[in-house]
A and B are shown apart, each in its own frame.
Chain A
């Protein structure tokens, strides 16, 4: 996302049901991989291995409620980000996953109805600030919650680490 725009564009790579847990997103057996880029190799490996190869850069994962429940493993959010996923859109998120995603610079967007309204392959335009999803394939607008300005600031910085790095490099401005 560029600094001048808060809109993302991509396709829906998958539409998933409720309670997609972090073991399903990223199996525990790979938790000793601490190289974030490499986590992408195991995204959805046990339950939905076909999704990973479908994701093109900027694509969206759409899901029903409580996406990312379970473990605090940050690799779940990292595997999505480094697979090229541009954002996760869900009816709700488990809190640790939500924070992990934002901290890694992966937008997590709350939309109560996206999972019901979107289909795999749809082209979407997502406005993070306005909280609107335009399904260009269906020519419909789907409501979403605007992302907190603080979260947008972190996403624009590329995540919490680049944000803190800049802050501590220039303490006078911080």
Chain B
């Protein structure tokens, strides 16, 4: 069995499952962010007095923190009261957590082999820890809160084997953007993705989280990178196997152009795209290694006068670490502004909304029409290195060009 099949078999009390079968699985962990308020309302409608297991529910505020409006303040308040009443201990309020996926990971909530559901599409991130982790809607989550179970169609699996070494300034983000460009926005719809190969096994956990996180943007139900505790059987059957060699296939950074994540081009193909705003953060790329590469590029350089650079550490812990290591000092000195750990402008709510005609380069995960503000704005998705370099140059650029010059607006 593939890893997805193995986990669903265990969670549904079966010895074996086949792709496309429907199984009812026990949920090991149920995560929500602000939309816990929607879940709460639906849960109360069902009429069950108590959640199935308060220890297995985690709630983390990240989409609108601190509350940007009275309306949001009221929903935050309602959720705070609900977690008190229900005895939900794993609640990360403003200033205690950060972006839900980072906080789940940092606090050890996710373990290999678990079934994790979250009312956030990027819940696929937790496949980096060997969990069958996927997004659900709020109503469905209310059912999980009531019963602790959910039905799944067993997905077929796409295997992606990655060999070779990253070229300078090329990272996990470039790899996954390249794969999405190749497979398409629906290329992994309803499927599981298993990443493996020597290049994956050399990657940091933070980088593996990038792969699993963005697999959602090709429709994946779940995505996995290898863990020691559990893996696919040697005779597992795959729907398709894709081989990637970093040396030949991805010699330079990749950029997803407006307005879809599969509209991917190498950075060298984008000449003279001016950048009004650069965003470095999100559940995709707001971790310490991302801030580190940005600090490396911006050390002794300045953000371009026509460009704004917004940084969002993925969590309080990342924020503190980046502060202690001096990355934030370097970045703020260069002219960046730091947002509180959360989703920031990625969802188009606050903290860096785009005006009509503005162009943004962002380390986030979506570039849909109006995603970050005006329907007439443009979002390009790239790695933290390309975001930082573009903030210096004031246009989309390969980091090696910026690094070749000293403190100049290239």
Binding site for B on A (CB under 8 A): 18-19, 21, 23-24, 27-29, 31-34, 46-47, 65-66, 69-74, 77, 92, 94-96, 99-100, 103-104, 150, 159-161, 164-165, 168-169
Q: Let me know if A94 and B136 touch, CB within 8 A.
A: no
Contact of A66 among B69, B121, B185, B366 (CB under 8 A): B185
Interface flags for B2-42 (1: CB within 8 Å of A; 0: not) read: 00000000000000000000100000000000110110011
Instruction: Give the complex CA separation of A46 and B356 in angstroms.
Output: 12
Q: With A72-B135, A95-B219, A168-B48 as given contacts, are A66 and B120 in contact (CB-CB < 8 Å)?
A: no
Instruction: Give the complex CA separation of A24 and B348 in angstroms.
Output: 12
| CB of B138 closer than 8 Å to a CB of A | yes
| CB of B258 closer than 8 Å to a CB of A | no
User: Which chain A residues lie closer than 8 Å to B138 at the CB level?
Assistant: 74
User: Which chain B residues lie closer than 8 Å to A70 at the CB level?
Assistant: 121, 366, 368
Measured between C-beta atoms, what is the minimum distance from A112 to chain B in Å?
13
User: Which chain B residues lie closer than 8 Å to A27 at the CB level?
Assistant: 348, 370
Measured between C-beta atoms, what is the minimum distance from A85 to chain B in Å?
17
The majority secondary structure among interface residues of chain B is loop
User: Which chain B residues lie closer than 8 Å to A150 at the CB level?
Assistant: 22, 151
Q: With A23-B368, A94-B219, A95-B219 as given contacts, are A69 and B35 in contact (CB-CB < 8 Å)?
A: no
Contact of A100 among B48, B64, B139 (CB under 8 A): B139
Q: With A24-B369, A28-B371, A94-B219 as given contacts, are A165 and B45 in contact (CB-CB < 8 Å)?
A: yes
* Chain B residue at smallest Cβ distance from A91: B186
Q: Let me know if A29 and B348 touch, CB within 8 A.
A: yes
User: Which chain B residues lie closer than 8 Å to A104 at the CB level?
Assistant: 139
The count of chain B contact residues (Cβ–Cβ below 8 Å) is 48
Q: Let me know if A28 and B347 touch, CB within 8 A.
A: yes
Measured between C-beta atoms, what is the minimum distance from A57 to chain B in Å?
22
Instruction: Give the complex CA separation of A160 and B46 in angstroms.
Output: 9
Q: Let me know if A168 and B140 touch, CB within 8 A.
A: no
Binding site for A on B (CB under 8 A): 22, 34-35, 37-38, 41-42, 45-48, 63-64, 69, 71-72, 75, 119-121, 123, 135-140, 142-143, 146-147, 151, 185-186, 189-190, 219, 221, 260, 347-349, 366, 368-371, 375
User: Which chain B residues lie closer than 8 Å to A19 at the CB level?
Assistant: 185-186, 260
Instruction: Give the complex CA separation of A95 and B152 in angstroms.
Output: 11
User: Which chain B residues lie closer than 8 Å to A160 at the CB level?
Assistant: 139-140, 142-143
Q: With A23-B368, A46-B370, A165-B46 as given contacts, are A31 and B139 in contact (CB-CB < 8 Å)?
A: no
Instruction: Give the complex CA separation of A19 and B347 in angstroms.
Output: 18
* Chain B residue at smallest Cβ distance from A77: B137
Instruction: Give the complex CA separation of A73 and B33 in angstroms.
Output: 12
Instruction: Give the complex CA separation of A21 and B143 in angstroms.
Output: 25
Q: With A66-B186, A66-B219, A168-B46 as given contacts, are A23 and B140 in contact (CB-CB < 8 Å)?
A: no
* Chain A residue at smallest Cβ distance from B260: A19
Known contacts A21-B260, A31-B63, A164-B147; 8 further A-B pairs (Cβ under 8 A): A46-B370, A70-B121, A70-B368, A71-B347, A95-B221, A96-B136, A161-B42, A165-B45
Q: Let me know if A32 and B221 touch, CB within 8 A.
A: no
Q: Let me know if B366 and A23 touch, CB within 8 A.
A: yes
Closest A-B pairs by Cβ, 3 of them: A100-B137, A66-B186, A46-B370
Q: Let me know if B369 and A47 touch, CB within 8 A.
A: yes
Measured between C-beta atoms, what is the minimum distance from B322 to chain A in Å?
26
User: Which chain A residues lie closer than 8 Å to B37 at the CB level?
Assistant: 34
User: Which chain B residues lie closer than 8 Å to A47 at the CB level?
Assistant: 369-370, 375
User: Which chain B residues lie closer than 8 Å to A65 at the CB level?
Assistant: 186
Instruction: Give the complex CA separation of A70 and B143 in angstroms.
Output: 22
Instruction: Give the complex CA separation of A92 and B219 in angstroms.
Output: 11
Measured between C-beta atoms, what is the minimum distance from A33 to chain B in Å?
8
Measured between C-beta atoms, what is the minimum distance from B77 to chain A in Å?
13
Q: Let me know if B38 and A24 touch, CB within 8 A.
A: no
User: Which chain A residues lie closer than 8 Å to B369 at the CB level?
Assistant: 21, 23-24, 46-47
Q: Let me know if A72 and B136 touch, CB within 8 A.
A: yes
Measured between C-beta atoms, what is the minimum distance from B214 to chain A in Å?
12
